[in-house]
Chain A
Amino acid sequence: MIRFDGVTKRYDSGQEALSDVSFELDAGEMAFLTGHSGAGKSTLLKLIMMMERATQGEVWIDNQKLAKLSARHVPLLRRKMGVVHQNHQLLFDRSVYDNVALPLIVAGYHSRDIGRRVRGALDKVNLLHKEKMNPQTLSGGEQQRIGIARAVVNKPPFLLADEPTGNLDPTLSAEIMQLFKEFNQVGVTVLVATHDLALIARMHHRSLILRDGALVGNGATKMPSETDSNMDET
């Protein structure tokens, strides 16, 4: 469960990235977070990941108030979330296998379990045959899939993705979205930030629409055509 209760985020620079945002995402739900660039999508995800803290209002994850979470407990929260970053955040000083194994090592899994789970996750994104390679030598789409494998390897209850299809062609994008959908079907709460409206329209899931930091749409599966054209401009 992810819940925002009148959340405002103001950066030190004075810029208000989110203003009075409220919504609730049930456990096992899948939703899109959309809006033009700079609308506050990344900030919203950062608040969930505790990379930032809300200036006002409350963010709840699993009935846990994030404002009350001490720095010591932040790592435990992050272990509950698989995050697919726009820029992959992969480490190029180690193999694909070691990149995907990182969340398991961090969480203290036994090495035997690690091997099994990493291969399972890599198999899932169809990159098992490249486990020994350096991610730097792989294509952008493959790097993105390694990022997804790493996000799901410890079977987290939440999966967050920030523009996961940002620089991929439509076919690859559709496949990645299909993958997220499959994770959702087995119970993972999925929140995908994207501005790929065509993709969203095809997926028939709930959409949270941000504009200049405010939540202007919540729930509609289909984009209002007015918003649609507005966002095409950006």
Chain B
Amino acid sequence: MFKSTKVNRRTGESRSSGQGISAPHHSFANRIRSWRSHHRLVASQSIRRLIATPVSSMMTILVLAVAITLPAALNIAISNVAQLTGQANDNVQMSLYLQNDISDKKARKITADVSRWDSVSGTRYISPQEAKASFNDMEGFAGIIDSLPKNPLPGVIVLTLSEHSLSSEKAINLKKKAMGIKEVASAKIDLEWLQKIHAILGLAQQVSAVLTVLLSIGVMLVVGNTIKLSIDNRREEIIVTKLVGATNAFVRRPFLYMGLWFGIGGALIALALISLCKYALTSALESLSLAYGGEIALSGLGLTNSLVLLVLAALLGWLGAWLAASQHIRALEPR
């Protein structure tokens, strides 16, 4: 039944020389080559394993995608708002309402004086007549002012402030200085809403940071739990592999790749979801953007950030898998 004559030919040849007492050793280059080929093998095998159970793999990937999309979308929303308010920063204005009965000539002189102030980048004088004309242009207001016995609108000097004057202290000083001119009845600076938005943005950024950290932990836990189940399913295989001399790193490898694929899969779906959201919001924003003079363009994630997201998600998946695998595989010893 057994081919006893083959012993010497098959196994004897290499044994007879050194009795084979040392572990099989091969050259360093060979080792690296086989290590690389094992990585390739394990990488493709772990993908095939994921495809073999499409429903459960997809469920995990979708959970990861949602967990990745939430903080990413929030960050994009915040950067969009920050961009919008950044544009607003460029043209913060202060309006000086003049006393009634100031002649145009006097008003223009004040305008010229004010334009020489520091941190004033531009001035424009709107005479009561011009104000009345633009008021009349507004829908529903036409004729109202004409029906009054006297034009109630004062002359206004609009100052455009340079960016450096935007700190509240400087702005308040500027306002005081303007109020010092006796022809100026009142001064109004539209900075307060900007400050509020900045405060809200700051808060939103903190919330987003906390959310990012929490959901990153979530991603690791989801991957870790899935990997743990996978390890439990392959318990027998792991024990037998360890019996024939596998290191923990060898046994861990397919699970690490699985975590990596989960992370990358989740990130890809998340990127698709983000594009979808952007597409859906763009049409909704078009009407809003028309109302604001067509200046609002929604920015997405961009190529660099998309790549960063992909790499981070892959890392989180790998890390989650590593945490689960190193813990559970060490415990799985042949008994």
Check A24 for interface membership: any CB of B closer than 8 A: no
Stretch touching chain B among A32-40, A175-183, A203-211, A222-230: A175-183
A108 CA / B28 CA spacing, docked (Å): 11
Question: Please, which residue of chain B has its CB at the minimum distance from the CB of A150?
Answer: B244
Check B334 for interface membership: any CB of A closer than 8 A: yes
List A contacts of B34 (CB < 8 A).
Answer: 108-111
As a 0/1 sequence over residues 46 to 77 of chain A, the CB contacts with chain B under 8 angstroms (1 = contact) are: 00010100000000001000000000100111
Contact between chains at A102 and B241 (CB < 8 Å): yes
Check A167 for interface membership: any CB of B closer than 8 A: no
Contact between chains at A91 and B240 (CB < 8 Å): yes
Contact between chains at A156 and B2 (CB < 8 Å): no
Contact between chains at A123 and B241 (CB < 8 Å): no
List B contacts of A213 (CB < 8 A).
Answer: none
Interface centre among A78, A90, A150 (most CB of B within 10 A): A78
List B contacts of A152 (CB < 8 A).
Answer: 11
Contact between chains at B245 and A91 (CB < 8 Å): no
Contact between chains at A179 and B2 (CB < 8 Å): yes
As a 0/1 sequence over residues 166 to 199 of chain A, the CB contacts with chain B under 8 angstroms (1 = contact) are: 0000001001001100110111100000000000
Contact sample, A vs B, 12 pairs, CB 8 Å cutoff: A49-B334, A75-B246, A75-B250, A79-B23, A79-B244, A83-B243, A107-B245, A126-B1, A155-B11, A178-B2, A182-B4, A185-B7
Contact between chains at A157 and B20 (CB < 8 Å): yes
Given the known interface contacts A155-B20, A183-B11, the answer about A78 and B244 at a Cβ–Cβ threshold of 8 Å is yes
Question: Contacts A76-B23, A106-B241 given; 15 further ones with Cβ under 8 A?
Answer: A51-B333, A75-B247, A75-B250, A78-B242, A83-B243, A102-B244, A109-B24, A110-B34, A111-B34, A121-B10, A154-B24, A157-B20, A179-B4, A182-B4, A187-B16
| A binding-site residues for B, Cβ under 8 Å | 27-28, 49, 51, 62, 72, 75-80, 83, 85, 89-91, 93, 102-103, 105-111, 120-121, 123-126, 150, 152, 154-157, 172, 175, 178-179, 182-183, 185-188
Interface size on B, residues (CB 8 A): 42
Contact between chains at B243 and A78 (CB < 8 Å): yes
Interface centre among B11, B239, B335 (most CB of A within 10 A): B11
Contact between chains at B7 and A124 (CB < 8 Å): yes
List A contacts of B242 (CB < 8 A).
Answer: 75, 78
List A contacts of B14 (CB < 8 A).
Answer: 155
List B contacts of A172 (CB < 8 A).
Answer: 1
Which residues between 1 and 32 of chain B lie within 8 Å of chain A, taking CB atoms? 1-4, 6-8, 10-12, 14-16, 19-24, 26, 30-31
Contact between chains at B24 and A91 (CB < 8 Å): no
Check B38 for interface membership: any CB of A closer than 8 A: yes
Within 8 Å by CB of B10, from A90, A102, A120, lies A120
Question: Please, which residue of chain A has its CB at the minimum distance from the CB of B25?
Answer: A107
List B contacts of A27 (CB < 8 A).
Answer: 19, 21
Contact between chains at B21 and A111 (CB < 8 Å): no
A66 to chain B, nearest CB (A): 15
Contact between chains at A51 and B334 (CB < 8 Å): yes
List B contacts of A109 (CB < 8 A).
Answer: 24, 26, 34
Within 8 Å by CB of B38, from A51, A77, A108, A155, lies A108
Given the known interface contacts A124-B10, A126-B3, the answer about A188 and B240 at a Cβ–Cβ threshold of 8 Å is no
Contact between chains at A123 and B38 (CB < 8 Å): no
Contact between chains at A155 and B240 (CB < 8 Å): no
Check B236 for interface membership: any CB of A closer than 8 A: yes
Question: Please, which residue of chain A has its CB at the minimum distance from the CB of B34?
Answer: A108
Given the known interface contacts A155-B24, A187-B15, the answer about A89 and B30 at a Cβ–Cβ threshold of 8 Å is no
Check B124 for interface membership: any CB of A closer than 8 A: no
B321 to chain A, nearest CB (A): 20
